[in-house]
Amino acid sequence: MSFAPVFSTHMLPTFLNCVKGYRKPTILDIGAVTGQNIQFLLGKGTKVYVDDVLTGWEEWKELGFSGHGTPAQMEEYLEKHLAYPPGFFDGILCWDTLDAIDPLSSRQLIGRLYEILKHRGTILALFGQGARVSRVRAKYCIVDEGHIEYGWTPAGSPSDHQYENQQIHAMFGGFSLIRIYLLRNGIREILFRKESSSAHQPVPNSHPLQRQGTLPRTPSADRRRPWLAMKVP
Amino acid sequence: MWSSKLRRESFRNKEEEVMADKEAPPVFPIRPSKGMEHPSTGTSSIARIGRSIFIKGELSGQEDLTIDGIVEGVIELDDHNLTIEQNARINAKIRARNVVIRGEVVGEIDALERVEIQSMGRLQGNILSPRVVIADAAHFKGSVDMPDHEPQGEEEKEAPADSAVAADNHQPPLEASPSEELIRWA
């Protein structure tokens, strides 16, 4: 018997409408793995890829790194674990993954998601109302097209990030905003769409090491991520 | 004379026997089927690969199978069930009716009915199955696809330009609460 609260969702139906224009949409879910979501998305005629980025990142850090992980480590993690071809997905369910990652790593992750998303592909992201102090993270289970059950799952480390709308807008620099919806429970549901490459604005990179040009990078990463190679004045 | 009559009668009898043989329905040997109990032990026929067994190559069979050891290669059970126990380490391409995972699996799974990853199970690979069940603490990374699922009445589009407009017109099933507000960025 489940006692998890169920809330309405306003952006999930919009997200599904955006991707259902394709014959067999390919969707990537980077949130906590739930069979319920997979079954729901399969029922919509999609092909589902599941990749719990946050759990993978926590495990990656435990392998030998300490602290929050450096940008180079995040870059290496994304190279190895989110290694999908460019323009592969029609839609990405981000859920609240970005809430649990530090701002710079979030920008790196968004840059990676931008690459693997198709032109005019859609991202659904949720942002919470405040910092998460306990070692749990939200687990979103789709009940039906209009409702999401909010469960909890253990997390490696607490999150202390709370993003303002303008920060989120800046982080998703290469995307256009379709719609943002503030739910009664304080969760912001935001839908972004990848625009054409000409309209693409590089994700701003404000890390001091990158400003100094001392952040180690691989040449292949530079080719695929022009904003990393960009000199920030 | 008696002898020739007897010979004729015996010949007629043999001819009738041959005719009877031709008309008799064919007899097929009894083969064990799915879920059938073993005649001597009374248990259902499930083969088991123990935890100390290591198999590299192609594994196929016509009965249910439980693996607790290490298997690398191909596992083909077609119409039968596969259970991968906690100690099992599988790196294989799997085809079965139902697959239950409690151990570690790397590879592709093609299941006719269902794939279930239980709480201790870990799967890295692609699933082709109409039904997938994943427990809370299970680990899964890969793709899931439903075989032969064709959405009807929809044609492929390269870029759904109007989808966002259509999406904007979509009304969610629940009425918006008064305290929920819609925010738009210009």
Interchain CB distance below 8 Å, B164 and A193: yes
> What percentage of chain B exceeds 70 in pLDDT?
55
Please report residues of B whose CB lies closer than 8 A to that of A48. Answer: 143-145
Interchain CB distance below 8 Å, A21 and B142: no
Interchain CB distance below 8 Å, A184 and B149: no
Interchain CB distance below 8 Å, B157 and A35: no
Q: Residue B19: its pLDDT value, please?
A: 46
Please report residues of B whose CB lies closer than 8 A to that of A47. Answer: 143-145
The arithmetic mean of pLDDT across residues B1-21, rounded, is 49
Nearest CA to CA, how far is B98 from chain A (Å)?
Answer: 16
Lowest-pLDDT range, A24-38, A90-104, B31-45?
B31-45
Query: Higher confidence at residue A137 or residue A104?
Result: A104
Please tell me which of the candidates B149, B155, B163 has its beta carbon nearest to residue A45. Answer: B149
Interface with B, mutate which of A7, A29, A46, A50 (most B CBs under 10 A):
A50
Q: Residue B14: its pLDDT value, please?
A: 52
List the single residue in B with minimal CA-CA distance to A168: B185
pTM score of the predicted model:
0.71
SS (H, E, C) chain A: CCCCCEEECCHHHHHHHHHCCCCCCEEEECCCCCHHHHHHHHHCCCEEEECCHHHHHHHHHHCCCCCCCCHHHHHHHHHHHCCCCCCCEEEEEEECHHHHCCHHHHHHHHHHHHHHEEEEEEEEEEECCCCECCCEEEEEEEEECCEEEEEEEECCCCECCCCCHHHHHHHCCCEEEEEEEECCCCCEEEEEEECCHHHCCCCCCCCHHHHHCCCCCCHHHHHHCHHHHCCCC
Question: Highest mean pLDDT range out of A22-31, A157-166, B79-88, B174-183?
Answer: B79-88
Nearest CA to CA, how far is B60 from chain A (Å)?
Answer: 29
Interchain CB distance below 8 Å, A181 and B170: no
Q: Is B148 on the interface with A (CB under 8 A)?
A: no
Predicted confidence band of residue A67 (pLDDT cuts 50, 70, 90):
low
Q: Is B184 on the interface with A (CB under 8 A)?
A: yes
Q: Is B56 on the interface with A (CB under 8 A)?
A: no
Q: Is A136 on the interface with B (CB under 8 A)?
A: no
Residue A155 has pLDDT above 90, yes or no: no
